[in-house]
Amino acid sequence: MNIKKIQQITKKHLKKIKELKAKQSKLVKVFFEISDKADIEKIRNDIKSL
C-alpha cells in the first residue's frame, strides 16, 4: 500500500471516531438527564436485571 492510500484511510477512521465520540457524549448527556428525573435506584435495578 502506498502512503496516500494509508493517509486517506486514516482520515476516514479519524472522522468516524469523531462522529462516534459526539454520539457517545450525546447519549451520556441524555442518560444523565433521564437519571436526574427518574429514580436512580430503579435504573440501577433495571441494569442489574439485564
User: Quick one: pLDDT at residue 1?
Assistant: 67
What CA–CA distances, in Å, run from 14 to 11, 22, 24, 28, 36?
Answer: 5, 12, 15, 21, 33
Is the CB of residue 14 less than 8 Å from the CB of residue 6? no
pLDDT in tens, 10-24: 999 999 999 999 999
The residue with greater pLDDT, 9 or 42, is 9
User: Quick one: pLDDT at residue 30?
Assistant: 83
User: Quick one: pLDDT at residue 5?
Assistant: 92
Give the span between the Cα atoms of 29 and 19, in whole angstroms: 15
User: Quick one: pLDDT at residue 28?
Assistant: 86
Three-state SS for 50?
coil
The whole-model pTM stands at: 0.50
Per-residue cell: 15: 472522522
Give the span between the Cα atoms of 30 and 24, in whole angstroms: 10
The residue with greater pLDDT, 20 or 38, is 20
